[in-house]
Amino acid sequence: MYAEERAGPLARSLIRQFAITYGTGIRSTCLRSAILAYAAVLLPPSQFGEISDRHASTASNMLMLKLQNPQSLDDSDAFAASMLMWRLWVRNLKDVALVHAKGVMGILDLLWTRNDGFSDILDVFGPLAYSDAKFYVSMSEHSDFSDQPRETQRRITFKQRVKYHREIISSGGPAIVWCSSVVQALADTLWDIQRVLLELALDIANGGWERYSESDSRVQYLWSEYNDVGLQQTILTLANSTGNDFEGEVTTYLLQQRLSIQLLITVIKSASILKGLRSFEAIHHAKEQFLRAKSRPLQRDGEAFQIYTWAFVLCVGLAGLVFGIEDESEGKSPASESRLTILKRDNGCQKN
């Protein structure tokens, strides 16, 4: 559970926070079993798969018993349900993870509305568990939020994300290179938003979704997260960042990702994927992507390169689609002359 080389840095840091609150042996049997199940799933399945399943079964049975008397639930039970949820998501068992995600949201909603208050650890890390659970639900159930239980409408603010990332960093250990809690929270939020947008775009392209709909749970999740005042203020603050250290390089990627998000929003709100990619709004966002990639590329080595290069390439690659779409009837890019004119205005951009 605590080994440096095993769980991802965020999960490992969170478990260390559990150790501070519940003791290194984790006094709560339910939470201890859930943590062991999660830790074992990160090890070779041939040796530890059965152990992971056994611990998960123990934790699940204990949670089911406590749910028969909801007033007996406490913060450790919410985190136990969260560890079970994350374990299943790691294994790509999303349908089963969805059941636990709904349970996490229900337990947290109950604990947060009790008159007897809640613990410090629930105040800080409850939003982490809830935000992940809500993301899983929104990605798994494409229905109107108004038809769903009230707890699914709770929103975790960007400010709350910054708060739990600050505590995660404090127990992350010296082997990890961390950005500030604000940049870590920004990376976390933008990636969730981009994943939702990519899912929507793929759904539309594959014919699974005929048009943009404000009632889709993914769309409602998207706007509730992207329009957060704290998030938008942070993006504006970092827009002029010029640092060359690790955090500066990560910020470079995040600003590219934000442009990619704007491009994807344009695409999903258009009548079709092709019309969205051919729109002049998409051209504008793509041009900005290329200009930023040319003027502020990621370094070719170091921590930021190792962690974010693939995602950086994804963002610029999506922008490249705008200039790669061919007219079906003529076999050439539509409005190619106007597109090239836009690019040529910027020194050296055509070469890039």
pLDDT tens-digit readout, 15-29: 888 998 999 889 999
Task: With a cut of 50, say whether residue 285 has pLDDT above it.
Answer: yes
The predicted pLDDT at position 142 comes to 55
Contacts of 345 (CB under 8 A, 6+ apart): none
Task: With a cut of 90, say whether residue 341 has pLDDT above it.
Answer: no
Q: What is the pLDDT of residues 151-206, one digit of tens each?
A: 446 889 999 999 999 998 887 766 677 788 999 999 999 999 999 998 888 888 77
Task: With a cut of 50, say whether residue 93 has pLDDT above it.
Answer: yes
∠175-181-187 over CA atoms, to 5°? 90
The predicted pLDDT at position 242 comes to 63
Q: What is the mean pLDDT of residues 61-75?
A: 92
The predicted pLDDT at position 145 comes to 42
The predicted pLDDT at position 171 comes to 78
Among residues of the chain, what percentage have pLDDT more than 70?
78
Structure tokens at 273: 């994927």
Give the burial string for 311-338 (b: 16+ CB within 10 Å, else e).
Answer: bbeebbebbeebbebeeeeeeebebeee
Task: With a cut of 80, say whether residue 310 has pLDDT above it.
Answer: no
> Could you tell me which of 152, 78, 69 has the C-alpha nearest to residue 108?
78
Give the burial string for 57-94 (b: 16+ CB within 10 Å, else e).
Answer: ebbbebbeebbeeeeebbbbbbbbbbbbbbbbbeeeee
Give the N- to C-terminal CA distance of the chain in Å, as an integer. Answer: 46
Among residues of the chain, what percentage have pLDDT more than 90?
33
Confidence of residue 44 (pLDDT cuts 50, 70, 90): confident
> Could you tell me which of 3, 111, 14, 1 has the C-alpha nearest to residue 67?
111
Please state whether the predicted TM-score (pTM) of the whole model is above 0.75.
yes
Give the burial string for 268-299 (b: 16+ CB within 10 Å, else e).
Answer: bebeebbebbbbeebbbbbbbbbbbbeebebe
Structure tokens at 337: 């002359």
Task: With a cut of 60, say whether residue 343 has pLDDT above it.
Answer: no
* Residue with the larger pLDDT of the pair 317 and 174: 317
Structure tokens at 253: 């990627």
∠188-94-141 over CA atoms, to 5°? 85
Structure tokens at 21: 């609150």
Confidence of residue 60 (pLDDT cuts 50, 70, 90): very high
For the chain, which residues make up each domain, given as ranges?
1-178
Task: With a cut of 50, say whether residue 330 has pLDDT above it.
Answer: no
What is the pLDDT of the chain when averaged over all its residues? Answer: 80
Q: What is the pLDDT of residues 270-284, one digit of tens each?
A: 888 888 888 889 888
Taking the C-alpha atoms of residue 343 and residue 291, their distance in angstroms, rounded to an integer, is: 9
Q: What is the mean pLDDT of residues 227-247?
A: 83
Contacts of 158 (CB under 8 A, 6+ apart): 185, 189, 228, 229, 230, 231, 234
Q: Dihedral of CA 236/240/245/250: which sign? A: positive
Taking the C-alpha atoms of residue 41 and residue 43, their distance in angstroms, rounded to an integer, is: 5
